[in-house]
A and B are shown apart, each in its own frame.
Chain A
Amino acid sequence: MFEEIGTTTDGDLIINVGPQHPATHGVLHLVITLNGETIRKVEPHLGYIHRSIEKMCESLTYRQFIYVTSRMDYLSSHINNHACAMCVEKGLQIEVPERAKVIRILLDELTRIASHELWWGAMAMDLGAFTPFFHAFRERESINDIMEETCGARLTMNFIVPGGLMADIHPNFQKRVKDFIRLYKSKFEEYNEMVTGNVIFRNRMEGVGYLSKADAISFGCTGPTARGSGVSCDVRKWFPYEGYEKIAFDEVIETGGDSLSRYMVRVREMNQSIRIIEQLIDAIPEGEYQAKTKAVLKLPKGEFYSRVETARGEFGVYIVSEGGTTPYRIKFRSPGFSNLSALDQMARGSKLGDLVAMMGTLDLVIPDIDR
């Protein structure tokens, strides 16, 4: 089934990266066919962290299955929970209170910044720079503290429930978010000084891992990966949910298609998230944080789909209900899976040393790919 280390019939060398390799950020196995130092083919082998989450959800009720989705893309767990809650609300036709909607968006955008911060640090570490990792974690830490205070957890929150939120925001929430915005703005220039303007970094990113617009569409790439190739695909703009249509923000698009474009999209997206938070933090409406729901949720017979924009791309939840308390079938459309499929196209013809940089710009979270 798997090729071993060796040579093919036409003299190419086959090497394996992973499944236990620090540069793959998890258990991803890449079988690389090399001609000298030039990559001929990259074949990702998946399934090392498959936990059959979709099957597990079939035995859980509509309140219970949400916590499992935090374990898929653990860096944007809030946004995953949001998608699931929205899908259940769509089936039950629950009207979520305005206050809950605004808080959901605020938490989503904070999660997006935290995810991009971690990606930024890990990406620089992939290229051999260790200091940015700690600088990114310093700002991420203050977001984690906000999450810890309001949601009670730092990574797997499970704060969004069908009908609204599990609890109201902490009294300190607004003050601490404003403190974070001030901190972020004072430190953002450091990012550009240390990494974006660095000559070594730019030489390793510019023109590397080119993905054309047509390829990005045909591979089903979403999120910053596709927007780096000039595809306009932000779910928040195209299919607005929870009141994103009322908020002023720009969809970040770069047309370069190389690793640097994908990098710039994410860095600029952090600033857009800050812009969204600044608009909403003083405008949280008063009122209930949760709509009245029945003790036992039963979705009517039918099929329901909802999608959100996570930090990595489009995340979709598809529920088939037979009218019972548990779903008949759940399908998650995870962004990482489609984005990874474009890696082969990107890497062909480039050098082996650039492969890690390309993987870094895809922002892969392996549990999200395998589910």
Chain B
Amino acid sequence: MFIKNYFKEVFSAIRSLLKGMRRTGYYFTHHKEIITQQYPDNRDTLNLPDRFKGEVVMPHDEKNEHRCTGCTACELACPNGTIKVITKFEINAEGKKKKAIDKLVYHLELCTMCNLCIVACPSDAIVMAQTFEHSVFNRSQLTKILNNPDSKIMEGIE
């Protein structure tokens, strides 16, 4: 009886091992079911979803105009001081003083991509871009100025 049970156990053990081996053998012979992506060779065909949070950017239109009013809502919403808004006063055509941004400094090295600044922005001036390869050789390259040089605020945005 003992010997019978012993051999029974041995055979069930071998069967359980073969079951697992059969599964790995299946994938060994079925290459089409393998889903590995060959990054970075597939960079050209890589599609990231629209909502992917890669980095904060400020879109400009063809006339080099942005939508930022310099209200500092993003600066207040940011949990770790990633965004600094430096404002200046511009004199417009009617001779009135108007607040505008001089620089919108963005520290990518501090950013945690929490999306709170995008939600806080009342005029949709900043959005998340789908870039994700952020490695640089010098840390100072990660501090970015989001508004283009000589850019202006779009008309009609208060």
Contact = CB atoms under 8 A, between A and B. Distances in A.
Contacts of B79: 60, 64-65, 67-68
Interface string A46-80: 00000000000000100111011000000000000
A151 interface: yes
Given A153-B113, A198-B16, A199-B12, A193 B23 contact: yes
Nearest to B52: A152
Nearest to B128: A152
A158 B114 CA distance: 6
A167 B35 contact: no
A190 B16 contact: no
B51 A199 contact: no
B149 interface: no
Interface in A174-218: 190, 193-195, 197-200
Interface in B14-67: 16-17, 19-20, 22-24, 35, 48-49, 51-53
Contacts of B53: 152-153
A291 interface: no
A68 to B, nearest CB: 8
Contacts of B12: 199
Nearest to B78: A64
B35 A148 contact: no
A194 B112 contact: no
Which of B51, B78, B128 is most buried by chain A, counting CB atoms within 10 A of its CB?
A: B51
B154 interface: no
What is the interface residue range for chain A against chain B? 20 to 34
Nearest to B13: A199
Interface size class of B (residues with CB under 8 A): 20 to 34
A199 B16 contact: yes
B145 interface: no
A251 interface: no
Contact of B52 (A63, A148, A161, A194): A148
Contacts of B114: 67, 158
B113 A193 contact: no
A100 to B, nearest CB: 15
A150 interface: yes
A138 interface: yes
B20 A194 contact: yes
B101 to A, nearest CB: 21
Contacts of B17: 198-200
Contact of A150 (B22, B23, B24, B51): B51
B87 interface: no
B72 interface: no
A174 to B, nearest CB: 16
B35 A67 contact: no
Interface of B: 12-13, 16-17, 19-20, 22-24, 35, 48-49, 51-53, 77-79, 112-116, 119, 128
Interface of A: 60, 63-65, 67-68, 131, 138, 141, 148-153, 156, 158, 161, 166-167, 170, 190, 193-195, 197-200
25 contacts: A60-B79, A63-B77, A63-B116, A64-B78, A67-B112, A141-B35, A148-B48, A148-B51, A148-B52, A149-B49, A150-B51, A152-B49, A152-B52, A153-B113, A158-B114, A158-B116, A166-B115, A170-B49, A193-B19, A193-B22, A194-B23, A194-B24, A198-B17, A199-B12, A199-B13
A-B complex: 8 closest residue pairs judged by Cβ atoms: A199-B13, A64-B79, A152-B51, A67-B114, A152-B53, A149-B49, A194-B20, A158-B114
